Amino acid sequence: MDIENHTQPQDLPSQTPAVESASSESGAKRLGTGLVASIILISLFSGLAAGTLGGYFISKSALKGTNSTSSQVSKNVIVNEDSAIVDVVKKASPAVVSIIVSKNLSQSQNDNFSNPFFFDPFFQNRQQPQGNSSNTLQQVAAGSGFLVSSDGLILTNKHVVSDSTAKYTVITSDGKEYDATVLSQDPINDLALVKIKISNAPTLSFSDSNNIQIGQRVIAIGNSLGQYSNTVTTGVVSGIGRNITAGDSGTSEQLEGVIQTDAAINPGNSGGPLLNVDGEVIGVNTAIDQQGQLVGFAIPSDDAQKDLASYQKVGKIVKPFLGVQYVLITPAIKTQYSLSADNGAWVTSVPDSSSPAVVPGSPAEKAGLKENDIITALNGKKIDQNTTLAGLIKDFNPGDTVTLDVLRAGKPITIKVSLGQK
């Protein structure tokens, strides 16, 4: 668990929806609820005033002309929109890949294979077929990714390639298969980089995710259900800046500032691109709400670009590190624990974690932060439910110095911290 990510005390209701990843496990139970496409028919109505016979014919004629024009405009809008989506798919699909996860069957029985986002109890109970050799590989999971360099650098989700004992195979849109190597995993966010040996590969470019607007049209492409490669779905941006807890009953991870979309994202879409109508990546599809329909989440493209820049600079993905666990203060938490602040990051041990509130030897400890401190601001930016400590820290680099406004036993103090590297 990311030390900078927040959680809620175990005995309090979670403030974030439980979601599962959009990765797909081979043989796992598929989602049973069908997705029903809704078509909204727009009708234009005009009232006709009562009058003379001549007046009636004039009004009817005028109405007929208006309806004809409106209908043509509506048809043109639909045609233009469809054409734009078709163009994006033609442009982007060649750069989208499927990632196949394979395991040694005999090892898998002992390893209890699972990934941190999509738990697969069916696989854990699977027995090795009679007559198979001990080194038999079998597909156990599948995800998506997309090429970001012509020499085979691929961006995907960390949970898709998290198993160090698995074999990873990339299948490109033309059906060719490549052995894949995991280069680096983001220590905080659900992102990873893998590499295949290829030349002159098609690539996708990024858009600035700070410019995303709620309601804008988006397109998702990915290996749906682990067997329908390059599946295309469309929708809109339903929300931005969401903070969610992604995982299952066994494991979970905090994701902050993610994009919500109603474009259908199914198991297997993990790691695939969320695109705007210009064919640019605005997000990396990562999770779906298991309690709803058409509620998916994507990591913003700016986070992905920072990881790429980090890898290109130092050969791996590194992130700034403070070294505290905390709970975001809500009115209920303030009342229950008699805290002295309405908002902020309360430094305290979180449930299901073996780490203390302040990590020994961390930048936080060296700077003098203590358990039960309340961090109310970072470099003057107030911390609340919408602006989290982890969200503010990720905009800095290892080695940067930040100023924390802290309440200790109700008294304000200021602490400067030089961020470490994770």
The domain spanning residue 233 has which CATH number? 2.40.10.120
348 part of a folded domain: yes
Residue that terminates a domain, selected from 313, 343, 358: 313
Choose, from 2, 190, 302, 307, the residue flagged as catalytic: 190
Round to whole Å and give the CA distance between 121 and 123.
5
Residues 341, 312 contacting (CB under 8 angstroms): no
Over 90: is that where the pLDDT of 333 sits?
Answer: yes
Query: What's the mean pLDDT in 280-303?
Result: 90
Q: What is the pLDDT of residues 204-221, one digit of tens each?
A: 999 999 999 999 999 999
Q: Is the pLDDT of residue 32 over 80?
A: no
Of 396, 332, 391, give the one whose Cα is nearest residue 8: 332
How far does the chain reach from its first CA to its final CA, in angstroms? 12
- DSSP assignment letter at 188: S
Catalytic residue, candidates 209, 224, 270, 310: 270
* Domain C-terminal end among 313, 330, 345: 313
Domain housing 105: 1-26+50-126+135-313
Same domain, yes or no: 341 and 372: yes
Report phi then psi at 24, rounded to 5.
Answer: -125, 135
Asked, for residue 39, whether it belongs to a domain, the answer is: no
CA 419 to chain centre: 25
Q: Is the pLDDT of residue 35 over 90?
A: no
pTM for the whole thing?
0.74
- Is there a single domain that holds both residue 13 and residue 151? yes
Q: Are residue 286 and residue 325 in the same domain, yes or no? A: no
C-alpha distance from residue 217 to each of 50, 144, 213, 261 (Å):
43, 21, 9, 10
Q: Of 23, 114, 159, 307, which residue is the catalytic one?
A: 159
Q: Are residues 195 and 71 both part of a single domain? A: yes
**Together in a domain, 289 and 379:** no
Residue 111 is a catalytic residue? no
pLDDT at 398: 92
pLDDT at residue 196 is higher than 80: yes
- Per-residue pLDDT at 303: 95
In this structure, the answer to whether residues 69 and 97 fall within a common structural domain is: yes
- Is the pLDDT at 29 greater than 80, yes or no? no
**What does the mean pLDDT of the chain come to?**
79
Q: Are residues 307 and 163 in the same domain?
A: yes
The mean pLDDT of 71-100, rounded to a whole number, is 81
- Is 416 domain-assigned? yes
Q: Are residues 111 and 235 in the same domain?
A: yes
Q: Please report which helix (H) or strand (E) contains residue 301, including its range.
A: helix 301-314
* Domains of the chain: total: 2
Grouping H, G, I as helix, E, B as strand and the rest as coil, residue 239 is: strand
Contact partners, residue 255, CB within 8 Å, separation at least 6: 189, 190, 243, 244, 245, 246, 286, 287, 297, 299
State both tokens at 98: 């499927």
Q: Is the pLDDT of residue 183 over 60?
A: yes
Q: Please indicate, yes or no, if residue 142 is contained in any of the structural domains.
A: yes
- The answer to whether 6 is a known catalytic residue is no
119 and 229 inside one domain: yes
Residue 38 lies in a domain: no
Active site residue 262: no
